[in-house]
Structure 1
């Protein structure tokens, strides 16, 4: 018994000694550390998001602006730590906002495999905005009963607003939450991330995101043990993002959008259209439109799975995709400005006479003029005005033979392909927008590369045929074609070169590339990389910097040759293929030049093109219109271009641009950052 008591005493004394040592460590050795930590738990550091900069047109009118809204956000991490995973809080919140709990749960669920929209694409550690259309009464219910809504906040935020509706939606872009991957990947973003920031996902919002986003502020708030705010300990105000001034004119943009809608309505099978307006003197973009479009406001507050699929659906025409810079189409006869230049580089005389028969034999196959009509002898000027195909077929075929035909013995010159590249085709223009397509210039190297990729499929089809094709004649043709591609698909054939010369076959360009090429042709021969951004301006109205338009090349033409081609194009709307579309136009006051294009597409209606400029003497505008499945260029695209010029110059209605002048002076800003005179 005595031994047991002794052991118990020793044990108690040992425990007391351990406790004394621990108390000494806590109170003396690490006392200051724990005091500091305790003090830190009585403060909360809040990053205050900056107001995002506006996007303005060339006259200072807003293309994208901010408006204040009450936004309810959820701290998902805080909710899932609750015993019921925050379900009771979400039920109360759903009752206040009149939203089903399942929808709220979906909105705060991180996106991932098997998780459909709406879901949360941002960082899991930031508050998740779930409603940006909250009224004051709903917000007060949350704020006044904060103990019932832990992890729920209702604050005033700035929300993006698009005064033009659908106008230029693909060009302007949209905002989405910052993802955790972006925080780790984008240098400097994590350091200035406010926790509720949105970043640009497309268009100008993406390219100029760093400029527009601004710098968040800091607020350190003292709180009690229940988390209730007691006072502000420190505050650093946020710095608003800079304003982006663009060269876009919102009135011209609206005119182009309307013209595209009319063009598609008048061509029943049309499934898309694009319009580009450039200032050829500067290379700046005045309007950039794509149809069908969409309202960028759909991104605010999160987009549903069905809404997102609609933006990418073939059935709705993929409105999220900009046909102006992403759409790739055969350019048809608008491409002949490059082919005429190639002929000159190959040694054909500028003022020579060329026969324009109704048909020209390329090898053992006839290549026909439009409707097989022969126009007799003519010069290159008339060949452009009347759009004779057979002159170009002949020159393309002759140059193919000169290069060695199917089996060149030395490196071929490929003058047509190389001239097209000098016009900027086959590569991106470098415009200040993301995701631009490069188009395609199908030369011998391209043919070989394509054959390497597709020969396996072609050879398989050469054996199996196309049993799924009901039309036997069609199936037999496809099988023969597959066999030909299997054996000789790497060869550039004579027909390929003939089609290339009139912008058909495998040639693809974007409407923006074509507009850029025509701008160089009718101005000074210099190829520029178009720009939409013109300048950035601080919130106090002071200019930060101008955004230059770089010169990236020069057309392979002498000044005499360039003016010769320009003069020929100047007659197309009055005496050539576009004359019908411009009947009654006051050419004596405002002369328009251009070129129609009608590109055949197998199994579909033709692609309709019109590339133009005005006034012809000293061009201030280049207008390119493309209508997919629109039919002939003279019947669909050219009338749409005429409608755009009517809007610009004030024919039948007040002018979109007074006196037809593009902006050359930046808007004037007041000290508060507003535009003077607006």
Structure 2
């Protein structure tokens, strides 16, 4: 054999041995190192899971009274796989279901369509899951309707009846709490993609409010029975059987009786505004415990029935939830509504004035108007009060004295050419109270509000400069008026500057300043507590089904405003004067509990959908009792008119509920917290629901309840 032949043979043998080595290496990797992975994959192909959803934990009030709980119920679902095989694509079957449950066929059709099957502008009520899972149509169906379907299955192919836990809202003392509790819904494809949580198709999960914030605790662990099947789908054996584990309970700081009273007071305030000729389109109310930050009650108006998500949301209901004509009931105004705080903000301005060196015990001019540049700023109703003490100026809500102080400070800071070391006392005072920041409440989708300081003005200018500098080309024809063109010219030249008018409006809570009702409640809690304020908390504790505490939520200090005690003392005196001899004196006349607060009537610019000018926003921010502050109470009514006559009366009604006031006397048996807000964790009492909800005859797992 020649040398060349021997070399070729060696190369060939080396190649063969290399391939064999690679082959055996791969086999070793697949059969030894990765055997568990591929065994599971093989089993998954021939296995079928039967998932039993866990009983979701209850959400209770501070006393352990259930506000939302899983109860046995019958759910009617649509199997799209079966429906789509019908010659008419299920039209006849869906029509029969609609007739049986007195629903509109269009609603039934819409709710059984995948969202991707519908136009983007018409997806209200669509199904977020897949066609391979039952689509819930009616929750809490009656036994008669369920039997009608089950006994006539040939008449209703693809219509399924199942007994499952249904999220129920017993409303034992008339509370609604919809925006706080939130709602649950079926697992979506997006949920299933979450690598951190192992969801199953037929689970329900939190979608908003406390339900989503504490979903990991409330959810529980679903039960799973895994069967191995052959290629004919015949079960060969049971591979595993994991029992469902019920979710933990969430005890909140909400008091159900107080919540019910706050909701009624808020609704009455909105209706009172309307009766006075104002639009009164919405409102919010908040009650905080001052020394812990616990949210004892929080209401939003308009609200909605929280059970609609479980009963089956119609297309109209879905549209109404976000309809401006209906007041957007889905919006949680205490933490998502942004409004100018108006004169309630003067408490913050007092802190700014003290920091700037203005004597708080001095007297100041309160003229009818103040001329600043080429603009005239009017006092409320253009009324002059002469030279008055500052505390009286707070009590009667004089605007013009603040115009002068704010303008003087603006000039000292350099005006349109600000000093590099501008004091910005007003902006800094607002920042110390958290304006423009999140409160950190344990609820999703909170909005920050707006602190229109120099940085905000610069950011706004950079975002809008191009529009204003090309206003004539970019604006609508209807907006090409001489006045708006001049404003656009000014914004193009120096829209990033804090102008005198900006500073003046800021001092009285107008202009670009926006806060949520929750933030304002936190501000007044800080004032009552000499500068220390807490992060608002709805959750009190997580407990398991046996009552064992899993997590105890302790109060969290958000910040502490370090200023002279004399400034707090002045504020306390002034805010009490508002109620005794100022703008709220008539509202609280004869009230047996001493409270302190501030009215606010905020001007709103813009038009309603019908073209009418927007009415003023009504505010009342307060704390009480004055000598030993325990609660901060705030109410806001959008387009509600005057602060005192709309929201002031509403806040008085809330205090009446808190302290058991009947007429001008206190009924000790009706006081909500006779010994103070409970400091211990309550026991969850689900028996209270059984006393009110009749479950007789309801089947759970094939067994009738007695």
TM-score where L is the length of structure 1:
0.85
Q: Is the 8 A contact 1:341 1:556 kept in 2?
A: no
- Structure 1 37/570 Cα, relative in aligned 2: closer, same or farther at 3 Å? closer
Q: Is residue 2:141 matched to residue 1:126?
A: no
> Deviation digits for residues 438-458 of structure 1, max 9, x if unmatched?
111111222222222223333
2:614 is matched with which residue? 604
After TM superposition, give the deviation of residue 478 of structure 1 in Å.
2.4
Matches within 5 A, 1:533-612: 533-586=539-592, 590-602=593-605, 603-612=613-622
Contact 2:107-2:315 at 8 Å conserved across structures: no
Counterpart of 1:157? 164
Shifted more, 144-153 versus 372-381: the winner is 144-153
Deviation at 1:496, TM superposition (A): 0.9
Deviation sequence 1:380-433 (CA, Å, 0-9, x none): 333322222222111211111111100124242212111101111111111111
Q: 1:661 maps to what in 2?
A: 676
* Distance of 1:135 and 1:148 partners within structure 2: 19
**Quick check: 406-415 or 570-579, which moved more?**
406-415
Partner of 1:111: 115
Tell me, yes or no, if structure 1 residue 72 matches structure 2 residue 80. no
- Distance in structure 1 (CA, Å) of the matches to 2:379 and 2:563: 27
Q: Structure 1 residues 322 and 141 mapped into 2: Cα distance closer, same or farther (>3 Å)? A: closer
Q: Deviations over 1:44-88 (max 9, x none)?
A: 4211100111111111112212221112334435665x5859749
- Partner of 2:482 in structure 1? 476
SS at match of 1:134: coil
Q: CA deviation at 1:582?
A: 1.1
Distance (Å, rounded) in 1 between the aligned partners of 2:475 and 2:179: 42
Alignment partners' CA distance in 1, 2:596 and 2:328: 32
- Give distance in 1, aligned partners of 2:89 and 2:650: 57
Q: How many Å separate the matches in 2 of 1:530 and 1:464?
A: 44
Partner Cα separation in structure 2 for residue 622 and residue 188 of structure 1:
39
User: Separation in 2 of the partners of 1:103 and 1:600?
Assistant: 41
Cα distance, 1:45–1:636 mapped onto 2, change above 3 Å: same
- Pairing partner for 1:344 from 344, 354, 378: 354
Alignment counterpart, residue 64 of structure 2, candidates 60, 71, 93 = 60
Alignment of 1:341-420 (within 5 A): 341-420=351-430
Retained in 2: the 8 A contact 1:280–1:620?
Answer: yes
Superposed CA deviations along residues 324-376 of structure 1, whole A, max 9, x for unmatched, are 11111111111011111011112223433333333333234332322333333
Residues 288 and 521, structure 2, Cα contact 8 Å, conserved in 1? yes
SS in structure 1 of the partner of residue 170 of structure 2: coil
Distance 2:385 2:615 in 1: 26
Mapping for residues 213-362 of structure 1, pairs under 5 Å = 213-220=219-226, 234-268=240-274, 269-362=279-372
1:196-215 mapped onto 2 (5 Å cutoff): 196-215=202-221
Partner SS state of residue 539, structure 1: coil
Q: Secondary structure at the match of 1:351?
A: coil
Q: CA deviation at 1:201?
A: 1.4
Q: Which of residues 436, 458, 463 is equivalent to 1:453?
A: 463
1:481-535 per-position Cα deviation (integer Å, ceiling 9, x unaligned) = 2222233322211111011111111111111000001111102421221010110
Counterparts of residues 514-529 of structure 1 (less than 5 Å): 514-529=520-535
Return closer, same or farther for 1:626/1:304 CA change in 2, 3 Å cut-off: same
Cα offsets for 1:610-647 (capped at 9, x unmatched): 10111111111111011111111122111111111112
CA separation in 2, counterparts of 1:96 and 1:512?
45
Match of 1:50 among 50, 54, 57: 54
Give secondary structure in 2 for the equivalent of 1:324. helix
Would you say the 8 A contact 1:109–1:119 is kept in 2? yes
| Structure-2 separation of matches of 1:366 and 1:174 | 50
The match for 1:168 among 173, 177, 198 is 177
In the TM superposition, 1:478-497 aligns within 5 A as: 478-497=484-503
Q: Which moved more, 1:661-670 or 1:222-231?
A: 222-231
Q: Tell me how far apart the structure 2 counterparts of residues 230 and 146 of structure 1 sit (CA, whole Å).
A: 28
CA distance in structure 2 between the aligned counterparts of 1:409 and 1:619, rounded to whole angstroms? 41
- Give a deviation string over 1:104-150, Cα, whole Å, max 9, x none: 55433211251634321124443322232334455456667879977
In structure 1, how many angstroms separate the alpha carbons of the residues matched to 2:583 and 2:98? 65
Q: What is the CA–CA distance in structure 1 between the aligned matches of 2:160 and 2:87, rounded to whole Å?
A: 20
Question: Which segment drifts farther, 424-433 or 118-127?
Answer: 118-127
- CA shift for structure 1 position 303: 2.0
> Aligned partners of 2:522, 2:371: CA distance in 1, in Å?
34
1:182 equivalenced with 2:191 (yes/no): yes
Distance 1:104 1:68, change over 3 A: same
- Helix, strand or coil for the counterpart of 2:655? helix
Distance 1:226 1:148 in 2: 28
Distance 2:345 2:352 in 1: 11
Considering only aligned residues, what root-mean-square deviation do their CA atoms show, in Å? 3.4
Other structure's SS at 1:129 match: strand
Query: For residues 449 and 220 of structure 1, do their structure 2 counterparts lie closer, same or farther at Cα, with a shift above 3 Å needed?
Result: closer
Structure 1 window deviating more from structure 2 (628-637 vs 530-539): it is: 628-637
Could you tell me how far apart the structure 2 residues matched to 1:403 and 1:38 are? 74
Deviations 1:251-278 (A, max 9, x none): 1111111111111111121111110111
1:510-563 residue CA offsets vs partner (Å, 9 max, x unmatched): 110000011111024212210101101101111111112321211242333223
Shift, 1:307, TM fit: 1.6
Q: Which of residues 614, 619, 628 in structure 1 aligns to 2:629?
A: 619
Aligned to 2:646: 636
Structure 1 Cα separation of the partners of residues 318 and 690 of structure 2: 39
Taking a change above 3 Å as real, the CA distance of residues 154 and 42 of structure 1, as seen in their structure-2 partners, is farther
* 1:376–1:135 Cα change, 3 Å: closer
Unaligned runs of 5+ in 1: 1-35
| CA deviation string 1:581-602 (max 9, x = no partner) | 112212xxx2010011111112
**Distance of 1:645 and 1:140 partners within structure 2:** 50
Kindly provide the CA deviation profile for residues 201-241 of structure 1, in whole angstroms up to 9, marking residues without a partner as x.
11111111111111101224688999799997753221111
Over 3 Å counting, the alpha-carbon distance change for 1:225 and 1:491 in structure 2 is closer
The 1:451–1:669 alpha-carbon spacing in structure 2 relative to 1, beyond 3 Å, is: closer
Q: Is the 1:403–1:414 Cα contact (8 Å) retained in structure 2?
A: yes
Say if 1:339 and 1:101 are closer, same or farther in 2 by CA, change over 3 A: closer
Distance 1:376 1:433, change over 3 A: same
Kept in 2, the 8 Å contact 1:595–1:612? The answer is yes
2:201 to 195, 201, 221: 195
Give distance in 1, aligned partners of 2:462 and 2:41.
Answer: 66
SS of equivalent to 2:394: helix
**Distance across 2 between alignment mates of 1:497 and 1:156:** 62
Partners in 1 of 2:671 and 2:211 — Cα distance? 26
